[in-house]
A = this chain, B = another copy of it.
Amino acid sequence: MLSGVTVGLRERKKQATRAALHESALRLVAERGLDRVSVDDIAADAEVSPRTFFNYFPSKDDAVIGLDPEHPLRLAEALSARPATETPVQALRAAQVAEAARMAAESQLWPLRLQVVDAHPALAARLTASFAQSEQLLAEWLADRTGTRAELDVQPSLLAAVQGSVMRSALHRWRAGGYTASLPALVAEGWDQVEAGFPAPRR
């Protein structure tokens, strides 16, 4: 019933292969640059055939980013669990701080990911796109929660987009500060700004 439990050898092998492909892709691209690494290189490094690569990732870029495909669903679950008395901003903030803590735990992968994303605009686009996919879902959840229409009212689509902005900005500053700061704290700092309406800083 629960998704986390390991079911059998087959499933475990698939997870391992997926992780191996992602880590090979990430490491090789970090070392040599995106256009000096072919899919064949990645497949060879992960010890599968080139054809198998495409059973796991639809494109080279996706393998390099390698995000958990179930992430949007977890976000949706986390939000549904928030008490109904919270405002949308409070619920998003709480869910995202929790998410940030989970991401910070993967402390090996994120610095590499952010490094390669920073070096290759095409990868930045892919990463942003995966955030954007969650945002679509998020907008509908927000519309549902506030009794507005996702397509026509301002708040659902804008707040969903802003939520992505908070995370991207936090990741950006996390990297810029050499990963010394706490990612959840950076996320919280972002939401402080949002809730305060971006006050002009005193000079």
Contact = CB atoms under 8 A, between A and B. Distances in A.
Contacts of A193: 154-155, 158-159
Contacts of A87: 198-200
B157 A198 contact: no
Given A124-B132, A129-B121, A158-B193, A88 B200 contact: yes
Name A's interface SS. helix
B146 A203 contact: yes
A167 B87 CA distance: 24
A83 interface: no
A89 B198 contact: yes
Interface stretch (A5-13, A17-25, A39-47, A168-176): A168-176
A114 to B, nearest CB: 13
Interface residues of A, number: 48
A193 B196 CA distance: 11
A161 B152 contact: no
Contact of A194 (B189, B190, B197): B197
A165 interface: yes
A-B interface, 5 closest residue pairs, ranked by CB to CB distance from nearest: A161-B165, A125-B129, A151-B176, A87-B200, A158-B169
Given A152-B176, A159-B193, A162-B198, 4 more contacts: A88-B198, A89-B200, A151-B176, A161-B169
Interface of A: 87-89, 121-122, 124-126, 128-129, 132-133, 146-148, 151-155, 157-159, 161-162, 164-166, 168-169, 172-173, 176-177, 186, 189-190, 192-201, 203
9 contacts: A121-B133, A124-B132, A125-B125, A125-B126, A125-B129, A161-B165, A161-B166, A194-B194, A195-B198
